[in-house]
Structure 1
């Protein structure tokens, strides 16, 4: 558990670039993790194990930061997709409006053309028929001056009506043409917005792909380092066993003639009180502490990384004792898995998942 880890991060793209640089510079399997130069030196093997554990811890932290960057990139890509879909809908609406406006303009133009044809035909008939035109016949067959005047007014109105129809349809055509132009402009603007949204979507999807590649690379390096850490620990255990086997047995003490003991009055036998071991409460079944331990320490419940954090859940000494871990063992790495989980439940109740900034998401 890392109480002092910072959780502030830069933008997820900068985080991905920084993590990739860190991977290239310092997270390979370095020479510091190799077996000690003196195969028989337990101290050197212990140092190698602690160095490998520190590298695993560092990589776990960077993997957590890379995962956070990937989550942010996924959210950005989803938002960009939503904006793109919205722009597409606006383009479709603008295209429909433009098509309707063009159709209305075409209808208005057809009406103007028809009115002009009708007016021209009326004028030709009036000119070509002369005295035999229906208009003149209507005037000549009138019963009197009053009827002649009435029929002349009606004929003039018929000709004027055709001219008015042409003017009205021309105005409608101009209005429809203006509407079609405005709709075409709106369609062009919507198409430009769609293209901008498409560019942003491509960039967001590329950022997500980069973040996913960084996470995969870190996970691969983590597997290599964890395997190396296990190998170093195995070598350390073998060296410790060999050292114990090679250590000479202590010489037996010289025999001494015991002096005659003075008579001792019998003392009453007082039974030693039996102190029951501390009760370890059952863990919450909804909390996957094994997943947190795999993230924090590679699942090693007895790890001592040498950097001030102990056990599978990486307790600091102050946190372990402050939350009652001293009733089980002096340090977390000396306690059992169940005892460490019991203390972790207490920490979780008070500090929440933030007590494990990177690995707490596994709960």
Structure 2
């Protein structure tokens, strides 16, 4: 069992990482004692893991709210669906929601928890690599809108995060690779040695070897916990966690949510951000290729959709949450383990970037 803490004063909470957290979750019964437990999951995950989780609840007392599986269901429609479920079952402020699933379930459940009766407790039990290394930690909750990803949401921290790496055994290869994109992101933004570790151990990671998985999950959570503790609501440092996301969210919105997985879009977004850094002289051609090669080793896409033009990207990026006064702001790597936020990228630079990318 590995344990970390996200240090946010009275809102601090633990992250537990183990191979058997679904059947032996430390302190879970204490976190929900005296509360009405509602587990939100999806149609794929619930049949596999719901019984394991609920076996640890006091008196096995719980309600389950099951939604369809897919990014397209992280919407206001299903935000309302879960709220209606809670109201129909007379859930009060003494309710604790448990998000059992990937990033869609976690983000949606967290947003409901933030809003229902002005705030109820929730616990994250992430079952995908992407949610385990990134979205379950830090309190970002949201739903998508047709005009932009994660545009409606709130910062709202969970009471605890339980990560069971055994759930990755049932994760499709494509979903696993999408999670690796976020793992690689942490190396680029914060820890050059970690990036090298991923390069050196890509076979072990790809083969789901236990030691390698524990290492990457722990280090990603550790980095995110450090950053969130310093900048909970993304006023500065935390924005760097969005490397690849400005371009990636544009791909998701343009292509339709769910057609590109989030991690796939972020992978291509990191390539674009790195190519922009190359054009600005921050990265050498060899360093740029090193980034592209590592993403490609995990079968992640490194080329934007052929149907998307520079203008298609801009129309979505102009709505990005990092922007100020209508100026698009980009996160770009200035070296391995270090990124910067820039707000002076010109239209000419973007056009040059997409010409480079197309070739």
Q: Which TM-score bucket, shorter chain as reference?
A: under 0.3
TM-score (norm 2): 0.21
Q: Which has the higher contact order (CA 8 A, sep 6+)?
A: 1
TM-score (norm 1): 0.20
* Structure with the largest fraction of helix: 1
